[in-house]
Amino acid sequence: MLLGTLAVSCQKENMVEPNATEAQACTVRAVSYTIDGVEHLAVLHSDEEWDAFLSWMLALSKEGREVSYRNLSATISTTQSKEVITYTTTSEEDAIAWGKKMGDAGYEVTIVFDSDLKAWVCIATN
């Protein structure tokens, strides 16, 4: 009887694991992006992949490439007027955090590296 109880309790623990996997599925993002005017599509499966993608976008912009992206998985604002928000920073971490926030809010984000300022100019457009 004791072995039967242990077997049942093991089954209950296994049933919890799929729920953890389902929670991770919420971080999947479909991202449309352009590099020098050429459009691409990527599917990112975690926040870590999203951070790596944004870091790559910043690196490309620092090389002088024209880059922009939109998180297609985000809810897009339905405001009538076009809103443009500009953020300038010398910190890669701050640029990634801002780009992540604006991308998850449904904005199209364009990143330009200003070599005179040695700073990223990040522009979000809805």
Band of residue 5 on the pLDDT scale cut at 50, 70, 90: very low
- The edge-to-edge listing of strands for the beta sheet with 119-125 is 38-44, 29-35, 67-71, 108-114, 119-125, 84-89
Domain spans in the chain, listed from the N-terminal domain onward: 2-125
Rounded to two decimals, the pTM is 0.76
pLDDT digits (tens, 9 = 90+) for 15-68: 444 444 444 445 899 999 999 999 999 999 999 999 999 999 999 999 999 999
> Each residue of 92-109: pLDDT tens digit?
999 999 999 999 999 999
Residue that wins the pLDDT comparison between 99 and 3: 99
Q: Is the pLDDT of residue 113 over 50?
A: yes
Query: For strand 29-35 and strand 38-44, is the pairing parallel, antiparallel, or unpaired?
Result: antiparallel
Instruction: Provide Rg for the chain, Cα atoms.
Output: 20
Residue 14 pLDDT exceeds 70: no
